Structures are given as C-alpha cells and as structure tokens.
Chains A and B, each alone.
Chain A
Amino acid sequence: EAGVAQSPRYKIIEKRQSVAFWCNPISGHATLYWYQQILGQGPKLLIQFQNNGVVDDSQLPKDRFSAERLKGVDSTLKIQPAKLEDSAVYLCASSDRTLGDYGYTFGSGTRLTVV
C-alpha cells in the first residue's frame, strides 16, 4: 500500500515569512497527526485529527500555527509568521484502529529551515 505522502521535502524561508506543508495519509486512515521534530529531540505532537475534526491541538502554537483537514483526507499545516525556532522536521502520521491495527505510519517529513 502507498505510504504517507508529504511535500515539500525541504523548505528554506526567512523569518516572518509564511510556509505551508501538505500531507496525504494512507487511504482510509481516519486519524492524522502532525509532529514537530527539532534537531536532537524526539517528535512532539502538534495536532491530531479524527476525520476532519480536531481531537487535540493543545501543543499547537495557535498564534502562528494553523492546520486543517478538509474532507477528512489531506491535511495542511501552516506557519505564519515563521520564527527561527520553528526550524525542524515536520512529520505527518496516520493510523486507523477500526480493524484493530495499533500501528502508526509516518511520512518522510518536511525539513524547514528558517533563516
């Protein structure tokens, strides 16, 4: 089966600019996650969707980050305006427990550098 697709793979922007990342989860997976992985650290959950609804966005810096999952399939994560500390890899993951599968599948990530 196709994996979790993310684009772009790399992005370099100047601080105060805006940027958007795209994720296409595994077909049929109802739950979608965005994680932020800062260099040298483990991934940190930013937001979790179930279909097109937000389940948990408690760790999302809402003054600058936003995310949506229209139609319950693809998702976009936006940062506006970006700060230097937003430099990280942004990972998208999906899962679906309706068939008793407890696995999570991660995409290749988008590496963001803010200069």
Chain B
Amino acid sequence: ELKVEQNPLFLSMQEGKNYTIYCNYSTTSDRLYWYRQDPGKSLESLFVLLSNGAVKQEGRLMASLDTKARLSTLHITAAVHDLSATYFCAVDFDRGSTLGRLYFGRGTQLTVWP
C-alpha cells in the first residue's frame, strides 16, 4: 500500500519567518499535489507537480518535486497570518492505468502568529 508521510504535522511559526514542509512517499510516482484546507472547508488546489524537478511558486509558497528521492517540499517564505491552514500533499498513483487516484498525507496544520 502506498504511504505518504508529511512532517511536521503541526507547525507554529512567527510572521516573517521561513519554513519547509516535507512530503515523502513510498512508491514511484511522477505526480504530486499540494492542497490547502481551511477549517470546515473543502480542499483548495495549490500546486500540481507533474515531473521530476518541477518547481512552482505562488506568492509566498513554493513547491518542488524530486521523484528519485520520492520527496516533495512546500517552502513558506516570510509567513503571514493568512497562510494559517492545514496543508496536504497527495500522490497520484495510477497502477499502470491511465486513471489516477490520490493518496493523501495526514496534513500539516500551520499556525502563523504575529
């Protein structure tokens, strides 16, 4: 069974600081997704990484994918309070078919304080 591990699970950081969330997975996949979830809300797509070495940036968030290491990172630069949410990584595993399915990590609950 495919395993997706995120760390840390809880992250409390001061505004203006930088930090990285890590996502490791246990089987070969070239596609990895990052989602944001606010309390009581659904999943908001942040990044879709489709190949080894892919790097995407949006505002203060940057995501990267190393398929050889089976590792993705979500880097937060100069955190602000509005980034407080839970962040999930999800691995797309298609078992050789053209159809994919997502396997999620447990999520990283981020709190940014003044």
Contacts and interface: CB of A to CB of B under 8 A. Distances in A.
A45 B90 CA distance: 11
Interface residues of A, number: 25
Interface residues of B, number: 24
Interface string B82-114: 000000101010000111111111110000000
Interface stretch (A19-27, A64-72, A80-88, A99-107): A99-107
Chain B interface helix/strand/loop/mixed? loop
A104 B107 contact: no
A43 B106 contact: no
B48 interface: yes
Contacts of B103: 45
B68 to A, nearest CB: 20
A24 to B, nearest CB: 15
A50 interface: yes
Interface of B: 4, 31, 33, 40-43, 45, 48, 50, 88, 90, 92, 97-107
A102 B91 CA distance: 12
A56 interface: yes
Nearest to B43: A106
A73 interface: no
A56 B101 contact: yes
B6 to A, nearest CB: 8
- Which of A43, A55, A97 has most B Cβ within 10 Å? A43
A77 B60 CA distance: 38
A102 B92 contact: yes
A29 to B, nearest CB: 12
